[in-house]
Amino acid sequence: MTNTVSLPAYDRATLKPGIVHIGLGNFHRAHMAVYLDDLFALGTDHDWAILGAGVRAGDARMRDAMLAQDCLSTVIELDPSGRSARRVGAMTGFIEVQADNAALIAAMSDPAIRIVSLTVTEGGYYVDAATGQFDSKAADIVADAADPSRPGTAFGAILAALRVRKAAGVAPFTVMSCDNLPGNGLVTEAAVVGLARLSDPAFADWIKAKVAFPNGMVDRITPATGPRERAMAAEFGLGADPVPVTCEPFRQWVLEDKFPSGRPALEKVGVTFTDDVHVFETMKIRILNGGHAIIAYPGGLKGIEYVHEDMQDATIKAFLDAVQTREILPIVPPVPGLVLTDYKTKIIERFSNPDVADTVRRLALDGSNRQPKFIIPSIRDALAAGGKAEGLTLLSAMWCRYCFGTDEHGSVIAPNDPNWDHLQAKATAAKVDPAQWIGMTEIYGDLAADTGFADRFAEALGFVWAHGVQAAMVRYIG
């Protein structure tokens, strides 16, 4: 293994901010920031550097860490054939994190900023899971609508900055979600316009007419940072970097070309611009993110710690392949230039990378937000196509069993969802009455009214409790 580190191949002093990015987590620093770093290394587009930002009090810790190292991110690619590290220099500053977001609003009001991008997690867009629509009654949204001058959310801050730019006659920036959501541009537009409509309907109409919200598909596996990752950075001679990022070698970014105020030439560094983002997105969300869920809950119940160990379990690996082949691939629309079976094979290869050391617990995190986006739509589509979705229904039963809060060895599963207490209560009740689980309309919508699905779920959950996940998977695989 080499301990050489690649440094930015350009003069960072020539960079000027053109993007404000809200949410400086691991994924952003291993994905969008890396693409821009590659672009700057070509000697072009140096007026598109990133200004980091956050809207939560906890984001101040990331700001302190990044400013202490001149906003350089350590990104370590975990290829089984050998690790490589790079210092990514695409960010030039980090805006002060404030309760009223005044500094963020001022930065986004600057005409030099032409894109505001976000990674605020799948659950950060205030979507009502039961309706799939913007949740105008969420407490944070109600607060921002009541006092738009002191917004606490990213969307409230975006509105405040757009209002300043509109008054000054400055063209609006493009708002670009980099989160892993179906139709992430549409979801972001719904949040921004929906919040505006609560206090200023005319302004909401102006945003709808003037502001672009491109859809995009993003992909790269980036485990959480812990002692292992910090030690890895030290092995590369990078000292005590508190926030290094590790990631797989693979990355992908597919975008709609909707940037009326301009954009960096990301096509030069591998970004795909297309009007067919939705088909790439459906493929990724159903096969990769759905695949994560398929292996997470049986692995968690078996007490398996790492994702690559999941893939070393012959039954879990066969279960993943069977559910993908029988129930998911047949309902995923064709993708230009790609063969879905090849994509599925690549996913299995990526999950099997032992050097990534991604955890089963991370994949099982936040099921109440992820299941309605990654699994429930596949169940609906499979049923609509005349199938029974037996494997996906079994997966849903295993998620319920996981939320009971103990694995099959009797070890306690620590809370792993923002709604853990509610889910645990429902999972406990479902042991006797399975309808208690699928009756959560905020997750399942009206699926509980489908008697075939309800009966299959009840049978699957009963079998998991009686015989365990190993026997349940073996029975499904056949």
What is the domain-level CATH number for residue 470?
1.10.1040.10
**Helix 290-302 crosses helix 340-351 at what angle (to 10 degrees)?**
40
Residues 432 and 289 in one domain: yes
Residues 262 and 291 in one domain: no
pLDDT at 1: 46
Q: Which range of residues forms the domain containing residue 124?
A: 5-274
What does the pLDDT look like over 247-266, one tens digit per residue?
Answer: 999 999 999 999 999 999 99
Among the candidates 255, 274, 293, a domain finishes at 274
pLDDT at 81: 85
CA distances from 367 to 42, 91, 173, 289 (A): 41, 32, 33, 11
**Helix 154-168 crosses helix 184-199 at what angle (to 10 degrees)?**
70
What does the pLDDT look like over 122-164, one tens digit per residue?
Answer: 889 999 877 889 999 999 999 999 999 999 999 999 999 999 9
Residues 138 and 221 in one domain: yes
Q: Phi, psi at residue 271, to the nearest 5°?
A: -80, 135
Q: 254 pairs with which residues across the strands?
A: 217, 272
Residues 297 and 209 in one domain: no
pLDDT at 3: 63
Q: Where are the alpha helices (DSSP H) in 88-239?
A: 102-109, 139-146, 154-168, 184-199, 201-210, 227-235
> Global pTM?
0.87
Q: Which residues of 125-136 are buried (b: 16+ CB within 10 A; e: fewer)?
A: bbbebeeeebbe
Residues 178 and 290 in one domain: no
pLDDT in tens, the chain (478 residues): 456 789 999 999 999 999 999 999 999 999 999 999 999 999 999 999 999 999 999 999 999 999 999 999 999 999 988 899 999 999 999 999 999 999 999 999 999 999 999 999 888 999 987 788 999 999 999 999 999 999 999 999 999 999 999 999 999 999 999 998 889 999 999 999 999 999 999 999 999 999 999 999 999 999 989 999 999 999 998 878 999 999 999 999 999 999 999 999 999 999 999 999 999 999 999 999 999 999 999 999 999 999 999 999 999 999 999 999 999 999 999 998 899 999 999 999 999 999 998 999 999 999 998 999 899 999 999 999 999 999 999 999 999 999 999 999 999 999 999 999 999 999 999 999 999 999 999 999 999 999 999 999 999 999 999 999 999 999 999 9
Q: Are 245 and 73 in contact (CB under 8 A)?
A: yes
Distance CA 345, CA 333 (A): 17
Among the candidates 249, 274, 299, a domain finishes at 274
> What is the 3-class SS of 404-428, one letter each residue?
CCECCCCCECCCCCCCHHHHHHHHH
Q: Phi, psi at residue 73, to the nearest 5°?
A: -100, 135
Distance CA 391, CA 316 (A): 12
What DSSP designation does 325 have? I
How many folded domains does the chain comprise? Answer: 2
Among the candidates 248, 274, 300, a domain finishes at 274
Residues 85 and 140 in one domain: yes
pLDDT at 284: 95
Coil, strand or helix at 158: helix
What DSSP designation does 317 have? H
Residues 238 and 356 in one domain: no
Residues 343 and 438 in one domain: yes
Q: Which residues of 317-356 are buried (b: 16+ CB within 10 A; e: fewer)?
A: bebbbbbbebbbbebbeebeeeebeebbeebeebbbbebb
Residue 116 sits in a domain of what CATH number? Answer: 3.40.50.720
Residues 268 and 369 in one domain: no
Residues 243 and 305 in one domain: no
Residues 231 and 350 in one domain: no
Residues 228 and 330 in one domain: no
What does the pLDDT look like over 398-429, one tens digit per residue?
Answer: 999 999 999 999 999 999 999 999 999 999 99
